[in-house]
Structures are given as C-alpha cells and as structure tokens.
Homo-oligomer: A and B are copies of this chain.
Amino acid sequence: MSEGQVGDSLLFLTDEQLRQGIEAMFFAYRGFTAGPDHLLEGTGYGRAHHRALHFIARAPGMNVNRLLAILGVTKQSLNRVLRTLIADEMVESRIGRADKRERHLYLTEKGAALEGQLSDAQRKWMRDAYRKAGPDAVAGFRQVLEALMDSDIRKSYNALREAGA
C-alpha cells in the first residue's frame, strides 16, 4: 500500500476499520451514560428521567409535544416519567397562555438542582475526554456524530442548537 492520502482513504473504509468504529461507539456510549446512571441508582429515577430533565433544562417552557419529538418515544412512555417528576416536584407543568391545551414544562428549584448534578457529572466526563483528545479531534468527533444522525433527528438537534444559541 502506498503512503499518503490515497492509502489512508482506502484503509479507512475497510470493513475492519468500520467495525472498530462501531464497537468504539458502543463502548463509548456506555462510558458516556455511566456517570448519570450511577448517580440515579436507588433514587427511583432512570435514564428516561435524566433525558427529560436535560431537555427541559435546555429549553424551559417547552411543551409536551415538542419534548416527545426530541426524545423519540411515545407519549405514554414520556407521560409516566413526567408524572413522577411532577409528583416529586422536580418539574412544573403550566397551562399554555395562548393555547390552553398545551402544557409548558419547567424545572423547579429542586429539579434544577438534580439536573445540575447529572449535567455536571456528564460534562466532567465529556470535558476530560475532550482534553485528552484535543481540539482537532473534537471537531472531527462532532462532524462524524452529525453525519451519524438521520435527517429527522438532525432537525431536532439543529432546532435545539438554534434555540440554545
């Protein structure tokens, strides 16, 4: 195999390289979720609650339908999670002003505290990984992740990025 770009391009799309990427993604995702999962152990909450808290923190006042679309689960599934979070006073559900059918979701102080704990743990993990890998690697990481999303998902993602910026 000749040296340089051509050799790299050929090599980098072998099934072996792809499989390593697939496995790396699998193992990395475990590491990525381990922190929050561990924090939630024994609290009666799980990953589903974490995700709801995260996106409510991210875009306060979001209505249920929007959150549903982002999470990609059924309303029955989300509702169970939301019900417990509201009962525990982690999340507040306010009736929409313009459209009274809608419920807008906000974190309570208690909810924000829990969400903060979880976010801190996950951000710390992410920050350490970013530090180890360096800025150039991070840019590449983000590019590949975006390419891995399907187009519907990417819509949600970009909507969120704009909302947050």
Q: Taking beta carbons and an 8 Å cutoff, which residues of A are in contact with B?
A: 5, 8-9, 12-13, 15-16, 18-32, 34, 51, 58, 72, 119, 122-123, 125-150, 153-154, 156-157, 160-161, 164
**How distant is the Cα of A18 from the Cα of B142 in the complex, in angstroms?**
11
Query: SS class of chain A's interface: helix, strand, loop or mixed?
Result: helix
**How distant is the Cα of A12 from the Cα of B126 in the complex, in angstroms?**
11
**How distant is the Cα of A161 from the Cα of B148 in the complex, in angstroms?**
22
Copy tally for this chain in the complex stands at 2
Say yes or no: A144-B141 contact (C-beta < 8 A), given A19-B58, A130-B12, A135-B9: yes
List the B residue with the shortest CB-CB distance to A58: B19
**How distant is the Cα of A22 from the Cα of B12 in the complex, in angstroms?**
26
